[in-house]
Structure 1
Amino acid sequence: MAWLRLQSAAAVLALMVIAGAAHSFEFHEATIDAIQLGFRNGSLTSTALVQSYLDQISRLNPLLRAVIEVNPDALRQAACADAARGRGQPTGVLHGVPVLLKDNIATRDALNTTAGSLALLGSVVRRDAGVAARLRRAGAVVLDKSNPSEWSEFRQVDNGWSARGGQTRNPYVLSSDPCGSSAGSGVAAAANMAAVTLGTDTDGSILCPSSFNSVVGIRPTLGLTSRAGVVSITPLQDTVGPICRTVSDAVHVLDAVIGYDEHDAAATGAASKYIPPGGYAQFLRKDGLRGKRVGVLRGFFQSYAGTQRLRVYEQHLATMRKHGAVVVDNLRVTANPTALLDDISSNEGIAVVAEFKLSINAYLADLVYSPVHSLADIIVFNNAHPIEEQMKDFGQDDLIAAQNTSGIGPVERVAIRRLKKLSANGLEKLMKEHQLDVIVTPGSDASSLLATGGHPGIIVPAGFNEQGVPFGICFGGLQGYEPRLIEMAYAFEQATKVRKPPMFKP
């Protein structure tokens, strides 16, 4: 009996030690590596981690409106992850880690997938989106969905506004733009409302909110991640990628979601040749700037002349040189960057309007159940709900324009060829002629150069302007350049360590 009492006392003491250790875990700004260390040393459980983020969402979301819906099964999933870990069956670096998904990424669970629109509320998807399925296989906990700009801002709403979620707000300066249709994911990552998040990018929708919210965003090469099960704008440009607080976290998430998907076979099959054996985490190198040729597109920096922001960028270029990069300065894709972007925008608009109708009708046709069955039905729904959908403020001119298209005809094909030509004779030619590993541009200002060619880009926090609004720096390259971009982005991040969490109080 004395032995049993001793054993019981030891068990209680062990529980007290574990409880005390769990209490000491630093949830704020926790990285995936820190989370996994906490799991291994017993100072953290997935259940405690999920509860911490749920508490943070409860505190902050009434003001920030970054989260559109919380998964009622998240704690159950966390408990299952804890049980699997207890049996010695973790499945990787994301095992038991809570992940937030943009609300245009389908999940076959209790969560809705609506792209922010009330028209899709209650719809039932046939299966998880390809990236969501991969996250589950990696052991991640699907925590919630983020508030997107409705229809990924194809409908011309304010950045971060949707009828379902309201207006997402920038946690650094509440009156500032949260930016891009993945604004909710960017804000949630910045404000520690999830461990890691996923967004989608047509033209800047990952890069821009990452820049404006002092987080890291990766726009992967087109097809590196599946778009199956995503409420898409255009398969010509759409890609799914991570938005996280560190380069390392973003790369871990990228490793989990890349790969071939039979439901997006053409794109993922073509891009699979770019995936390196062993994945991307191997390129997290502190000396990653050494020997790299960095092209500075000066035309994109001119609008910041005389500002604190430009002075910071110049310091960062000096840091890159200090760490062994060869900075090739004063490069231009064209003599007139503004004219180039206008040319891209006009042709992009022609192609995307037609592609959106095809994409949304295909998505709706694959649903098990939906209140609407076509783009025409969505337009009717909005007209029937003018207050909820704020028709007076935003209208739906682009939705109507898309409805009036009839597929990819001669005009659209000309526009698509023009975009390919602009990319081939612009960014691609420049990088090959100067043998560049990367181009560097301010924030997401050059996102169109990347998007129209299906090229990758990584935003890393770079500084704060005079008002305290964050801004990032973009490392961009050609298709398949992720390894060298990750090396440089990680080395830059480690050399500068610019990111600071928002300090506001709700």
Structure 2
Amino acid sequence: MPANARATPTGDRLGAALARPLVAALLVAALPAAPAAAATSAEANVRAALDRIARHNDAVRAVIATVPDALDRARSADRQRMARGPLFGEPVLIKDNIDLVGLPNTAGSLALTANMPAQDAPLVTRLKAAGAQVIGKTNLSEWANFRSSQSISGWSAVGGQTRNPHALDRNSCGSSSGSGAAVAAGMVRMAIGTETDGSITCPAALNGIVGLKPTVGLVSRTGIIPISASQDTAGPMAASVADAARLLAAIAGSDPADPATAEADARRADYVAALDPRALAGKRIGVLRFATGYSPATDIVFEQALSLMRAAGAVLVDIAEFKGRGEIGAAEYQVLLTEFKAGLNAYLAATPATVKTRSLADLIAFNTATADREMPLFGQDIFIQAEATKGLDDPDYLKARAKARRMAGAEGIDRMLADNKVVALVAPTMGPAFLIDTVNGDQIGGGGPGGLAAVAGYPHLTVPMGRVRGLPVGLSFIGPAWSEALLIGLGHAFEQAAGPQTPAQFAPSVDPRPAPAR
């Protein structure tokens, strides 16, 4: 879900512009976070990752729980003589809305602390089959930021407040807040996030890492606590485009239990082979001028990124406007409310008997009864709106779903690509990280490109493009359905042209002004 669901009904429903301009800094790209996993010792890699989590998690609050026997599992993997998968020994963290045997799947809510899955989600099974060591679960915006219009991204009753490791008074965005912060903090090179609208790409951009929201249906959603059958997907959050490509190669594929993935096996590609440093050369790329304006400083960094792309051989075509984003956003919100109730009720009905909240109505009652712990900062107005929806047969819902998908996809991204004869679209992903604000909630600025890709169900890759006063900002690459390999190539080429990124410094703040006198 977007970092904040309360804002004006644009394509990605972002709020008012950031108040004060910031100063642009050096273009930067691939994050040298945790050291690359060695192919010889899973135990050494896992031990190092657990040590980094222990060292940084008190400050960042990115990880909710680690697997108790993670080191034993790694030792067992080292002893095995069978063929080792492409992610052998790589520590991976997953978002705490994905089923993982041995740890509760909570969505950050105290209502689900007894939700112990009987089996792994299929994407977890795929990770393990590829040799990855799934070592724990990351914090998130509670209920993937779909509980309150006044929410604070990165906060959950189970995990507390995730903080941005580049400046600890800044938000890490959401809802995959912990996954983004964990990679940025160097705890792991790879994590899994989920997105309905902005929940992979926003935290990736604000934490200065790579995030890839795949085409809806490329990755199984079975075993993931849902918001929207139309828009939900899991995807990679990683220290580099190459790491994201490796991670996507492991998790992509069809799942008989998720009808949306029927085409996945036929559509998946060799994402690692797409890592071509010359991929920008000769490519016509559309520049979404209507999706800029987060801040003057962000626009300066964006122009520098465009200059790098031109130098790498890209042919850039300005796209000045796109009408109808407000209509798309209003229709999308109706779809999300309706699908959330239906999907969540189905998920809760299948949880273990130890889970006492068996429906959205039960959750609303639970939150009311435990308001001192569950709702100390914001309420549950989105829950209440969703509970009032009329079901998946409601004609108004069906009309809104068709309208949103058509306007964002065939009449949106597809038409912009065709009319301008371009292969992909670029824009700033977001402005720099906003302050954690427990009074006003999230203060997100601008109206970026991510909502169109989210509603259409198309892929969206964000890559670090530079810094504003020490805070990362991301560059978005958006393409048609199933174009992940294309986007990976373009993003990798930009990353190589831009050069290495300074890792997170865990600064208390980037604001040099003294606190006001009391």
TM-score bracket relative to the smaller structure: 0.7 to 0.9
User: Which string of whole-angstrom CA distances, capped at 9 and with x for unpartnered residues, describes residues 273-304 of structure 1?
Assistant: 3212xx21100011111111110011112443
2:477 corresponding residue in structure 1: 475
1:98 corresponding residue in structure 2: 91
Q: In the alignment, is residue 463 of structure 1 matched against residue 466 of structure 2?
A: yes
Matches within 5 A, 1:422-433: 422-423=407-408, 424-433=410-419
Q: In the alignment, is residue 55 of structure 1 matched against residue 51 of structure 2?
A: yes
Deviation at 1:314, TM superposition (A): 1.1
Q: Is the 1:462–1:472 Cα contact (8 Å) retained in structure 2?
A: yes
Q: Residue 496 of structure 2 is aligned with which of 486, 494, 497?
A: 494
Q: Residue 167 of structure 2 is aligned with which of 162, 173, 179?
A: 173
Q: In the alignment, is residue 124 of structure 1 matched against residue 116 of structure 2?
A: yes
Deviation at 1:406, TM superposition (A): 2.5
Deviation at 1:195, TM superposition (A): 3.0
1:270 corresponding residue in structure 2: 263
Counterpart of 1:342, as a letter, is G
Counterpart of 1:406, as a letter, is K
In 1, Cα distance between the equivalents of 2:281 and 2:106? 45
Matches within 5 A, 1:22-61: 29-30=33-34, 34-35=36-37, 38-40=38-40, 45-61=41-57
Segment drifting more, 469-478 vs 54-63:
54-63
Q: Is the 1:372–1:378 Cα contact (8 Å) retained in structure 2?
A: yes
Q: Is the 1:178–1:209 Cα contact (8 Å) retained in structure 2?
A: yes
1:155 corresponding residue in structure 2: 147
User: Which string of whole-angstrom CA distances, capped at 9 and with x for unpartnered residues, describes residues 54-87 of structure 1?
Assistant: 1111121111111011110211111111112xx3
Counterpart of 1:190, as a letter, is A
2:384 corresponding residue in structure 1: 400
1:24 corresponding residue in structure 2: none
SS in 1 for 2:481: coil
User: Which string of whole-angstrom CA distances, capped at 9 and with x for unpartnered residues, describes residues 418-477 of structure 1?
Assistant: 1022122122111112221110011152111101100001100011113x2111000001
1:308 corresponding residue in structure 2: 297
1:4 corresponding residue in structure 2: none
In 1, Cα distance between the equivalents of 2:378 and 2:290? 33
Q: In the alignment, is residue 323 of structure 1 matched against residue 312 of structure 2?
A: yes
1:440 corresponding residue in structure 2: 426
Q: Percent of pairs identical after alignment? A: 42
1:388 corresponding residue in structure 2: 373
In 2, Cα distance between the equivalents of 1:323 and 1:124? 50
RMSD (Å) for aligned C-alpha atoms: 1.7
Q: Is the 2:166–2:505 Cα contact (8 Å) retained in structure 1?
A: yes
Q: In the alignment, is residue 107 of structure 1 matched against residue 93 of structure 2?
A: no
In 1, Cα distance between the equivalents of 2:293 and 2:203? 22
Q: Is the 1:460–1:472 Cα contact (8 Å) retained in structure 2?
A: yes
In 1, Cα distance between the equivalents of 2:60 and 2:293? 33
Counterpart of 2:373, as a letter, is E
User: Which string of whole-angstrom CA distances, capped at 9 and with x for unpartnered residues, describes residues 194-253 of structure 1?
Assistant: 231000000010000000000000000110000000001001001110101100001100
In 2, Cα distance between the equivalents of 1:478 and 1:98? 31
Deviation at 1:186, TM superposition (A): 0.2
2:3 corresponding residue in structure 1: none
1:288 corresponding residue in structure 2: 279
SS in 1 for 2:220: coil
In 1, Cα distance between the equivalents of 2:161 and 2:376? 16
Counterpart of 2:227, as a letter, is I
SS in 2 for 1:175: coil
In 2, Cα distance between the equivalents of 1:194 and 1:30? 5
Deviation at 1:332, TM superposition (A): 2.7
Deviation at 1:350, TM superposition (A): 0.8
In 2, Cα distance between the equivalents of 1:505 and 1:350? 40
Structure 1 unmatched ranges of 5 or more: 1-26, 335-339
Deviation at 1:505, TM superposition (A): 6.6
Q: Is the 2:252–2:264 Cα contact (8 Å) retained in structure 1?
A: no
In 2, Cα distance between the equivalents of 1:215 and 1:209? 8
User: Which string of whole-angstrom CA distances, capped at 9 and with x for unpartnered residues, describes residues 362-392 of structure 1?
Assistant: 1112223323211111111111211111x24
Q: Is the 1:222–1:271 Cα contact (8 Å) retained in structure 2?
A: no
SS in 2 for 1:282: coil
Q: In the alignment, is residue 332 of structure 1 matched against residue 317 of structure 2?
A: no
Q: Residue 260 of structure 1 is aligned with which of 251, 254, 265?
A: 254
In 2, Cα distance between the equivalents of 1:213 and 1:498? 15
In 2, Cα distance between the equivalents of 1:29 and 1:176? 19
1:355 corresponding residue in structure 2: 339
Q: Is the 1:30–1:195 Cα contact (8 Å) retained in structure 2?
A: yes
Counterpart of 1:317, as a letter, is L
Q: Is the 1:92–1:139 Cα contact (8 Å) retained in structure 2?
A: yes
Segment drifting more, 444-453 vs 472-481:
444-453
2:137 corresponding residue in structure 1: 145
In 1, Cα distance between the equivalents of 2:90 and 2:376? 41
Q: Residue 412 of structure 1 is aligned with which of 397, 407, 410?
A: 397
Q: 1:30 to 1:394 in 2, by over 3 A?
A: closer
Q: Residue 348 of structure 2 is aligned with which of 355, 358, 364?
A: 364
In 2, Cα distance between the equivalents of 1:371 and 1:139? 35
SS in 1 for 2:377: helix
Q: Is the 1:234–1:352 Cα contact (8 Å) retained in structure 2?
A: yes
Higher Rg of the two aligned structures: 1
In 2, Cα distance between the equivalents of 1:505 and 1:326? 38
Counterpart of 1:290, as a letter, is A
Deviation at 1:498, TM superposition (A): 4.7
Counterpart of 2:390, as a letter, is S
Q: Is the 2:180–2:204 Cα contact (8 Å) retained in structure 1?
A: yes
2:438 corresponding residue in structure 1: none
Deviation at 1:28, TM superposition (A): 7.0
Q: Is the 1:182–1:199 Cα contact (8 Å) retained in structure 2?
A: yes
Q: 1:365 to 1:126 in 2, by over 3 A?
A: farther
